[in-house]
Amino acid sequence: MESIFHEKQEGSLCAQHCLNNLLQGEYFSPVELSSIAHQLDEEERMRMAEGGVTSEDYRTF
C-alpha cells in the first residue's frame, strides 16, 4: 500500500496545506501562492478597467 501524504498546517496557510494534501505532494509554497494571488489581482484590475476607470466598482477596488 502506498503512503498517504499529509502536510500538517502551520500558521494561517490553509489553502497551501489543502492543495498540497489534495495533490498528495509538496506542490505549492507560500511564496508561489502569493505570486499567483498577485497575478490574479492584476488580471482582475485590468478586467475591471475595461468597464471604465471612473466607475464606482473600479474606484472601490
**Domain coordinates in residue numbering, the chain:** 14-60
Tens digits of per-residue pLDDT, 4-61?
999 988 889 999 999 999 999 999 999 999 999 999 999 999 998 888 888 887 888 7
SS3 24: coil
| Interatomic CA distance for residues 18 and 8, integer angstroms | 10
**Taking CA 54 as the corner, what is the angle to CA 50 and CA 59, rounded to the nearest 5 degrees?**
95
Q: Which three cell numbers stand for residue 3?
A: 503512503
Q: How confident is the model at residue 1 (pLDDT cuts 50, 70, 90)?
A: low
